[in-house]
Amino acid sequence: MAVSTTTPTPPRNRTLWQRFKDFFGYATIQQQRAVALVLLVCQIGITITGSTVRVTGSGLGCETWPKCHPDSLVPVEGLPIVHQIIEFGNRLLTFVVSAAAIAAIVVVYKARRRKELKVYAWASFILVVVQAIIGGISVLLNLRWWAVALHFLPSMALVWLAAMLYSRIKTPDDGTPTRQFPGRIQNLTLIANIALIVVLITGTMVTGSGVHSGDAAIHMESRLQVNTEYMAVAHAMCMYVYLAFTLVVVWMLYRHGAPSATKKAGVVLIAIILLQWVIGVIQFRLGIPRWTVPAHVGMSGVVTCFSALLYAHGVTRVRKGDANELVTGSPAGDTRRAAHFAS
Of all helices (H) and strands (E), which one includes residue 62?
none
Long-range contacts, stretch 224-230, CB < 8 angstroms, 24+ apart: 224/145, 224/146
Asked if 321 contacts 1 with a C-beta cutoff of 8 angstroms, the reply is: no
Polymer length in residues for the chain: 343
Amino acid 2: pLDDT: 45
Bridge partners of 215? 58
3 falls in which pLDDT band (50, 70, 90)?
A: very low
pLDDT digits (tens, 9 = 90+) for 121-136: 999 999 999 998 998 8
**Quick one: angle between helices 145-169 and 29-55, nearest 10?**
160
Amino acid at 249: V
Bridge partners of 177? 317
Amino acid 220: pLDDT: 55
CA atoms within 13 A on the CB side of 213: 16
Amino acid 1: pLDDT: 43
Phi then psi for 225, rounded to 5 degrees? -85, 70
Asked if 53 contacts 87 with a C-beta cutoff of 8 angstroms, the reply is: yes
Report the candidate in 26, 21, 19, 8 with the shortest Cα–Cα distance to residue 332. Answer: 26
Amino acid 321: pLDDT: 66
Mean pLDDT of 269-275: 97
pLDDT digits (tens, 9 = 90+) for 210-268: 665 554 555 555 667 778 888 889 999 999 999 999 999 999 999 988 899 999 999 99
pLDDT digits (tens, 9 = 90+) for 161-176: 999 999 999 999 998 8
Three-state DSSP string of 211-243: CCCCECCCCHHHCCCCCHHHHHHHHHHHHHHHH
Q: Burial of 131 by CB count in 10 Å (0-12 exposed, 13-18 middle, 19+ buried)?
A: buried
Neighbours of 34 (CB within 10 A): 17
Asked if 311 contacts 167 with a C-beta cutoff of 8 angstroms, the reply is: no
pLDDT digits (tens, 9 = 90+) for 16-29: 877 887 888 889 99
Q: How many degrees, rounded to 5, is the angle at CA 267 between CA 266 and CA 271?
A: 120
Of all helices (H) and strands (E), which one includes residue 315?
strand 315-318
